[in-house]
Amino acid sequence: MIAAFGLLFGIVLGLVLRPDVPLALDPYLPIAVVAALDAVFGGFRAYLDGIFDDKVFVISFASNVIIASGIVFLGDKLGVGGQLSTGVIVVLGIRIFSNVAAIRRHLFHA
């Protein structure tokens, strides 16, 4: 529940303060957001399954963002940033939809 309140607080804070993202970090922000969403949905799924661990959630959240951003950074340095960005989005998108399907099955028994 604390994570949900933290997410809501962060969204409201971002809407009120409207922080500027440096141009150098601009290509990594969407990837970081998708990676963070993957961790959030995975954490919610684990909570519903009764196996949620806050340490695992924090490590998963941070490592997802760092690894996904690192892959895109490496792709930019190799000149194939667009292809690696697409690959990261596809993989994380599949994970997000898988977690959402499990959450739906758990909540609606369908």
Element spanning 65, H or E: helix 54-78
CA distance 87 to 93: 10
Q: In the prediction, which pLDDT does 15 show? A: 93
- State yes or no: pLDDT of 4 exceeds 80: no
- What are the pLDDT digits (tens) for 31-82? 999 999 999 999 999 999 999 999 999 999 999 999 999 999 999 999 987 8
The mean pLDDT value for 90-103 works out to 96
What's the mean per-residue pLDDT of the chain? 91
CA distance 108 to 27: 37
Q: In the prediction, which pLDDT does 7 show? A: 79
**69-77: long-range pairs with CB below 8 Å, 24+:** 69/28, 69/31, 69/32, 69/35, 72/27, 72/28, 72/31, 73/28, 76/27
Q: In the prediction, which pLDDT does 107 show? A: 93
